[in-house]
Amino acid sequence: MNFKKPVIGIVCDVIKNGLNGFHGVGEKYINAIAHGANAIPILIPAQPAAQDLESLTEFFDADFFEQLDGVFFPGSPSNVEPHHYGTEASATPESHDKQRDGSSLPLIKLAIAKGIPLLAVCRGMQELNVAMGGELHQCLFHHEQFIEHRENKKGTRDEQYAPAHQVTLTTDGFLANILGATTHTVNSLHGQGIKTLGKGLKVEALAPDGLVEAISCNENGNFVVGVQWHPEWQYQQDKLSSSLFSAFGAAINQRFKEKNNKSM
């Protein structure tokens, strides 16, 4: 099928509603991909077998994903199961999504190996770190050295997604270059965070408490960026957020053009 715009695959969560599982993605992510990156958003269901699902691996294989112009890993209420980074005991056993783990972690490795542009937000950034061999803090709020990174659950959406703390961007890093500055104020809605950095990853931003807030990977000269905050929220009103989605859009558009040129 020929598309007039680049296509970005967005990895789905599996959400329990009563006794049934539903595959879905938050509207704000879809909106930012479509209008911020100027791309066609395609929702990719989780592939591992589950209660009502036979494995989809044979349909969503490497050949399928190589047809995409980019992949996006959104935030989620769920956490990566800790056995993926060498810790068996879970501090949040009620907040896992095995099917998403089984889809995201191998897809991240594939995207990096094949040069598919990749953007990861919140849980997505944590997945990127884990896929590259890094570890996570399961509960930042159990460690005195960290500030409170969680949102106020009783607040309105505007309050929860309001700017929360400043980050320091790495000098000459990707984010500093697209922003044209080395500090920025971001929102903060997460209970977990990076403990040890994955192989090949570079720190792009730090919170005031030293927590890694953004990462990148330069393998194959590809666009691989992860941020811990939520740039998709009202991205048009924030310079760094709009610049990030625009840069992602430029990377996928370049891949889109190269693919079309090869097929001519």
Distance, CA of 41 to chain centre: 15
Rg (the chain; Cα; Å) = 18
Q: Is 230 a catalytic residue?
A: yes
Q: Is 232 a catalytic residue?
A: yes
Cα 80 from Cα 100, distance rounded (Å):
9
What residues have CB less than 8 Å from 189, skipping those under 6 apart?
A: 75, 122, 149, 150, 151, 160, 161, 229, 230
Strands 118-121 and 13-17: unpaired
What residues have CB less than 8 Å from 108, skipping those under 6 apart?
A: 73, 118, 120, 127, 128, 131, 132
Handedness of CA 192, 197, 200, 203 (dihedral sign): positive
C-alpha to C-alpha distances, 32 to 106, 113, 187, 231, 237, nearest whole angstrom? 24, 25, 16, 9, 12
> Which is nearest to 80 in space by CA: 18, 122, 143, 50?
122
In the set 23, 184, 190, 230, the catalytic residue is 230
Cα 154 from Cα 143, distance rounded (Å):
23
Cα 112 from Cα 56, distance rounded (Å):
21
In the set 81, 151, 204, 232, the catalytic residue is 232
Cα 83 from Cα 77, distance rounded (Å):
18
In the set 12, 81, 122, 184, the catalytic residue is 122
Question: Which segments within 33-182 are labelled E, that is strand?
Answer: 40-44, 70-73, 118-121, 135-137, 165-169
Active site residues: 122, 230, 232
